[in-house]
Structure 1
Amino acid sequence: MSCLTETIIHQAIQGDKAAFAKVYQHYRTPALKFSISLLKDKEEAENMVHDVFIKIWEKRALINPELNFSSYLFTCLRNMIFDYLKQVEKSQLLRQRYMERMDRTTEEDQEDLETRCILLHKAINALSEKRKLILLLNIEGGKSYQEIAESLRISKNTVKNQLVKAKQLLRERVDLAS
């Protein structure tokens, strides 16, 4: 890396775009190699180098021309890369926690569903034979109130009342136990 004159760096800091282009051309390759060594990703390294030079251009008025520009550049680049890596790590950790929570929730939901099914079967079996028959004809058989009434030779209103009472009892027993 040949030495870039302090004059060109000073001109770049003062806002001379041509001088800044020379600074960019001079430091681009070593900055890229440095970034790749930390990131292990050429495309992301190129993005970082590009971003650091944009940031330096935007904040050029704050740069002290008396200090070593190379040290300043590589410190900025290193800090930017470390911030990026922390963000990636945080993102991966959040994704991992989310997936663990989803796995746990799914397992808990499955266990809850199995428990509720067991409670529901116990509650159905605890119904009187008549209510149980009406409920099963309606839910499993898909029969209407009228069809159930005709097949059991009872009134449609009795079917409706028995279903309402059966469903209410089931709801109470399953909700109270879970």
Structure 2
Amino acid sequence: MKAYRRLYELLSERIYRFSYSMVRSPEVAEEIVSDVFIKVWQMRARLAEIANLRVYLYTIARNFSLNYLSRNADGRVIGLDNLDNGAFVEGSSPADLCISADLANQMRRIVQQLPPQCRIIFQLVREEGLRYKEVAAILDISPYTVRNQMAIAVQKIGEAPLLKDILSAFGTYD
């Protein structure tokens, strides 16, 4: 029970943000998080068989979120590119604590302007610390797609004029 509680404490907020980025409803995202952890509790005897529990939890959350969307979409197909993931990008990583508040705010704005799939991949890799293979497994895409989307994200972030101005002011960009 202590391990289950600790797992919930460690990952529930992240899974909530991930689910919310897809369903865009706080209540539904909370329900999905609850359903994810109920499923984990129900299958606790088989958890040792799972190679990467974090990827497994994100995958369950993705499936529950997509199931919710498909049940409530009136037959429309919804892809990752059509999702608004603005709430998913939060910028509460340790790196944000080390840089100035202005730079962190600018970075958040720039990341929020990325295309939806690119943004969610960037969030999972850079802020959640997942590997490309893990993100690929969660989103059911190729690791090469993850790599390409990360390259696009890094390029667009590097080209952002506001970021260039701030970095120049700190003497870290020329």
TM-score band w.r.t. shorter chain: 0.3 to 0.5
From the CA coordinates, give the structure whose radius of gyration is larger.
1
Which is helix-richer, 1 or 2?
Answer: 1
Choose between structure 1 and 2 for higher RCO, CA contacts under 8 A separated by at least 6 residues.
Answer: 2
Q: Taking structure 2 as the reference length, what is the TM-score of the superposition? A: 0.41
